[in-house]
Copies of this chain bind each other. A is one copy, B any other.
Amino acid sequence: MSATVVLVDDHAMFRSGVRAELGQRVDVIGEAGSVAEAIAVVTEKRPDVVLLDVHMPEGGGLAVLEALGPALPDTRFLALSVSDAAEDVIAIIRAGARGYVTKTISADELADAVARVADGDVVFSPRLAGFVLDAFQDSPVAPAVDPEIDQLTPREREVLRLLARGYAYKEIASQLFISIKTVETHASNVLRKLQLSNRHQLTRWAVDRRML
């Protein structure tokens, strides 16, 4: 039960090498040497994993991902590239790839990476994952700190967080090791300070601020 794979790379020699090395461990059911060919082959073959070169003519792996990604939710894309540049990694991941490895990888490691991606995991070459996390942390579109939230005490902020997530007073009390009555007090203070009248509005408030 090895995973089915389609190789996409504009260098035939490289595809041949990958096929030779990986043939024992995964089931290579198709190859493509261009963006257009990749779209056709992947659409037809429906592999578990597409091993996708990033740098190719006509838009490269990014073009393939944008054309196919949304249409094939059950197909995972693993980017395979000579580049270890942060912008390449981020662009590919943002487009929906489930991993990014560089071509310095060994055959064993690549076979393992393909298997893991087929299995639902996410795979990165060491250090590359850090690029994504950095971009992820910078990404909050609206940092936009409300003046109201500054009026909250640390404990109130904690209760707010749990309230917004839908926990009942009783559950919050258990998690924070305090009584229900204390939770009620904090909750009441939070609602008053944020000028809200009930916890449903509070949930929407938190959603708007991407706290969930």
Query: What is A's interface to B at a CB cutoff of 8 Å?
Result: 55, 57-59, 63, 70, 73, 87, 93-94, 96, 98, 116, 119-122, 124, 126-127, 129-130, 132-133, 135-137, 139-144, 154, 158, 165-168, 175-177, 198-201, 203-204, 207, 212
Residues on the B chain within 8 Å of A165, using CB: 87, 204
Residues on the B chain within 8 Å of A59, using CB: 154, 158
Contact of A122 among B93, B116, B130 (CB under 8 A): B130
Instruction: Give 23 CB contacts A-B under 8 Å.
Output: A57-B176, A59-B158, A73-B142, A73-B143, A73-B144, A87-B165, A87-B212, A98-B133, A98-B141, A120-B127, A120-B130, A121-B126, A121-B130, A122-B127, A122-B132, A122-B133, A166-B198, A166-B203, A166-B204, A167-B200, A199-B200, A203-B204, A204-B212
Q: Are B96 and A137 in contact (CB under 8 A)?
A: yes
Residues on the B chain within 8 Å of A158, using CB: 58-59, 63
Q: Are B124 and A122 in contact (CB under 8 A)?
A: yes
Bound together, the chains give a CA A94 to CA B209 distance in angstroms of 14
